[in-house]
Structure 1
């Protein structure tokens, strides 16, 4: 990396670190949060996804396991839970967990619209009923489907106070050109896309653009749906990982993601209470600086 670019990134990382604030009065000491640019509201840097993991149908035992994951997530200071109509029974399972836990006020509900534009309002109402919330905090256009009509609808809902934030999503590195165009043209609060220590295309255009435009960034598929952590499982962590408080590969990956100054929150999905606690611990202690981030990339590339 050229010296000038490195110094700029180091400066940005220093600014980002200074911008971290306590996530909530309920969180364990040291949990980090970032501000949502369009409002200044704070968001813990690790959230909870529900793709596949919460799609358990109406099996009560499995639904209870998901509720336990949610309980551990909230106990650790988490706020954002993300879902979609595309995720099978995940929305109703989230609703089950929220009802069991008492519909915690700390929840930041993030859902999506995934249908034709004309059916958007009906789908959103069904989704809201599944969750059992009075309104969604954030609604995103899932994978840019019929994005123009949906954004028009969502912008109107936001103006009417029926949703607090509006965004768009993509995943697996798809349609970045169109996503970039939408980010430049539309007044978005959030954008969601894939980013991790090996999927780094977003560093070239999307992350700098989000920072420039004041758009909050949600990172999906941080572990490549588990493929990345499975690939690294048999490898040793570098001895210097302890310098940034890392004890597992999941924490290594999450630390890399959340240390980028444009990232607001990463949303790993899990069915394990131990894993959700492990993930939340990545949002504590020291974050890697620019030199350490480059070192992390080089180490993984060499494996």
Structure 2
């Protein structure tokens, strides 16, 4: 199936931050009831569904209007389908406040695993950001707080660990999103005891498979994956391709599910967090957390298909 110019333009405008236009997502979403695949956080044994929800751009919205209504429907669908991990940040504009208000309005906070970040310098500034995250997300206890991009790492990690000791944060981690930071990230992972790391990985960005993901498994760290669609670039490659017949072998019903299943098939990955506020895309993404995951041969087939697109 191919897309015409009108369909591509409409899809591009439909969702800020989603960076996605799958040809398969045309009919109204139907709620599946298949249990979602889960993986355990190594430091605790707590299980999380392997697909979550990112909020960069997509939830940088004000109350009222169509965007807010769409985000409300998306978060409700996510929670109703069994999704848990919602990742945000003070750097994502109004996203923390949107998630806090919507989760309270929908009464789904008990079902969610809320993650956010600090990205600042100095102890006082970090403590203020942490307090703001609690307030905006309306969560006296945040499930995961991360030092974003390793900024002022020692200071901010100490603040987050103190909050964990006080029972205001359950897990602590660090994040980055580019291969250029892998040397620094690897050093931190070897030096520090962390519950989580967050890093980029996709069919187009496979560098973390060689060093970072094996080290996370070795060190007993859970892994959140950002940029599973390479910032949306992967949809630009595959949007004109029909879904291959072999996608059925891994239970994939869309290109988004194929791309997510590639990332999720690495056993070191705990959860991927694609960003969207489109309810249909939320359910489509969660569909990647069902069925079987690709084996080594199927992973190579996915890489080859994308490379040849």
Q: TM-score, normalised by structure 2?
A: 0.87
1:107 and 2:115 equivalent? no
Structure 2 Cα separation of the partners of residues 122 and 45 of structure 1: 31
Aligned counterpart in structure 1 of residue 84 of structure 2, from 70, 79, 102: 79
- The structure 1 segments of at least 4 consecutive aligned residues displaced by more than 2 Å after TM superposition are 27-30, 57-61
* Matched position secondary structure for 2:240: coil
* Higher RCO structure, 1 or 2 (CA under 8 Å, sep 6+): 2
1:155 and 2:155 equivalent? no
Structure 2 Cα separation of the partners of residues 293 and 103 of structure 1: 35
Question: Which aligned pairs between 1:15-34 and structure 2 lie closer than 5 A?
Answer: 28-34=33-39
Structure 2 Cα separation of the partners of residues 95 and 278 of structure 1: 24
Tell me the CA shift for residue 232 of structure 1.
Answer: 1.3
Residue of structure 1 in register with 2:17 after alignment:
none
Residue of structure 2 in register with 1:67 after alignment:
72
Equivalent pair of 1:51/1:269 in contact (CA under 8 Å)? yes
Equivalent pair of 2:79/2:108 in contact (CA under 8 Å)? no
Structure 2, unaligned stretches of length 5 or more? 1-31
Structure 1 Cα separation of the partners of residues 33 and 154 of structure 2: 41
Taking a change above 3 Å as real, the CA distance of residues 236 and 172 of structure 1, as seen in their structure-2 partners, is farther
Question: Which aligned pairs between 1:116-265 and structure 2 lie closer than 5 A?
Answer: 116-118=121-123, 119-265=125-271
Tell me the CA shift for residue 59 of structure 1.
Answer: 4.0
Structure 2 Cα separation of the partners of residues 174 and 273 of structure 1: 34
Residues 90-119 of structure 1, C-alpha deviations (whole Å, 9 max, x = no match): 111111211111143111010000111321
Structure 1 Cα separation of the partners of residues 67 and 267 of structure 2: 37
Residues 183-202 of structure 1, C-alpha deviations (whole Å, 9 max, x = no match): 11000000001001110000
Q: TM-score, normalised by structure 1?
A: 0.88
Equivalent pair of 1:197/1:253 in contact (CA under 8 Å)? yes
Residues 190-248 of structure 1, C-alpha deviations (whole Å, 9 max, x = no match): 00010011100001100000000000000001112222113211122322111111121
Tell me the CA shift for residue 180 of structure 1.
Answer: 0.5
* Matched position secondary structure for 1:165: strand
Structure 2 Cα separation of the partners of residues 30 and 122 of structure 1: 39
Structure 1, unaligned stretches of length 5 or more? 1-26
Report the more deviating stretch, 155-164 or 262-271: 155-164
Equivalent pair of 2:204/2:230 in contact (CA under 8 Å)? no
Structure 2 Cα separation of the partners of residues 272 and 107 of structure 1: 18
Tell me the CA shift for residue 274 of structure 1.
Answer: 0.6
1:43 and 2:71 equivalent? no
